[in-house]
Structure 1
Amino acid sequence: MGPERESNDSIEAEWNFLVRSAANWDNRPGDYPATWVPPIMGALADAARNSALSQFYPFISHARLCFSTGRRHWLGEGDVLPVCIALLPGGSYSVAHRHDPAKVLLETTSPEEAVAAAVDALKEYLRS
């Protein structure tokens, strides 16, 4: 069973949930075959939370860390931003366009480098 959400809709509450979810993901039982991702979500969640990306609502979709301008983007309450960070089976991260994962901006083993590339790609969306 995964972590529970806090009862408020704040961005901070969503980041708290993401960090708990990432720890849950990384601590899942079992072996990590080469066809799936090793436990690297927690490092990515921490790096993203400590960056300019923390002003957006985070969510995980298909082993990708994505960002939105609203908590319930699927209900039209906010827009999903055009860049996400995917976890790759080899233990690395891929920063890519949300709708075209083949448009890779960066592949790296460093969560900080992945976050920096995402911040750079999303600079027009960032508040100063």
Structure 2
Amino acid sequence: MSDSLSEAWDFLTQAAAEQDDGCRIPGRSWVPPILEDLVLAARNTSLSRYYPFTSHARLRFSTGPESWIGNGDDLAVGIALVPEGRYLVCTQASHDAPVFVRLETADADEAAAMAEHLVNAGS
């Protein structure tokens, strides 16, 4: 994958659609098939200026394309998928800090808007 921000969003959108297809198969996964809606909603906000990635059924954002090797920093805001088909917008100061749930919703646009607000407010 390229370092292009647009390509990163394109890649994740396609991967989310494929993951959702797999999650629709009964008994295959506990993860609900709601990731593509979330990725599309987030891409329509100012979160699109960050690199998206998934981690443990959670949509995350970074300032660079490869934060796991030091090329960018992960933002403190993430959106988790939960079994009931809902989203949890969470903040976490660091990987070993407690996670704080800021919103629980079934609406992808609402989750993305809250994440955008938290990022813009410095969470």
TM-score w.r.t. length of structure 2: 0.88
Which shows bigger deviation, 20-29 or 58-67?
Answer: 20-29
Instruction: String of CA shifts for 1:63-85, please: whole Å, max 9, x gaps.
Output: 00000000010111110000100
Map of 2:53 onto structure 1 = 59
Q: Could you tell me how far apart the structure 2 residues matched to 1:76 and 1:123 are?
A: 23
In the alignment, structure 1 segments of 5+ residues that lack a partner are none
Question: What is the total number of aligned residue pairs between the two structures?
Answer: 117
Report the alpha carbon displacement of residue 106 of structure 1 after superposing the two structures with TM. Answer: 0.1
Report the alpha carbon displacement of residue 30 of structure 1 after superposing the two structures with TM. Answer: 2.1
Map of 1:14 onto structure 2 = 8
Q: Which of structure 1's runs of 4+ aligned residues deviate more than 4 A?
A: none
Map of 1:76 onto structure 2 = 70
Report the alpha carbon displacement of residue 117 of structure 1 after superposing the two structures with TM. Answer: 0.6
Q: Could you tell me how far apart the structure 2 residues matched to 1:119 and 1:63 are?
A: 19
Contact preservation (8 Å) 1:48, 1:115: yes
- The residue type equivalent to 2:30 in the other structure is W
Map of 2:21 onto structure 1 = 27
TM-score w.r.t. length of structure 1: 0.85
In the alignment, structure 2 segments of 5+ residues that lack a partner are none
1:80-119 aligned within 5 A: 80-98=74-92, 99=95, 100-101=98-99, 103-119=100-116
Please give the root-mean-square deviation of Cα atoms over the aligned residues, in Å: 1.7
Contact preservation (8 Å) 1:32, 1:38: no
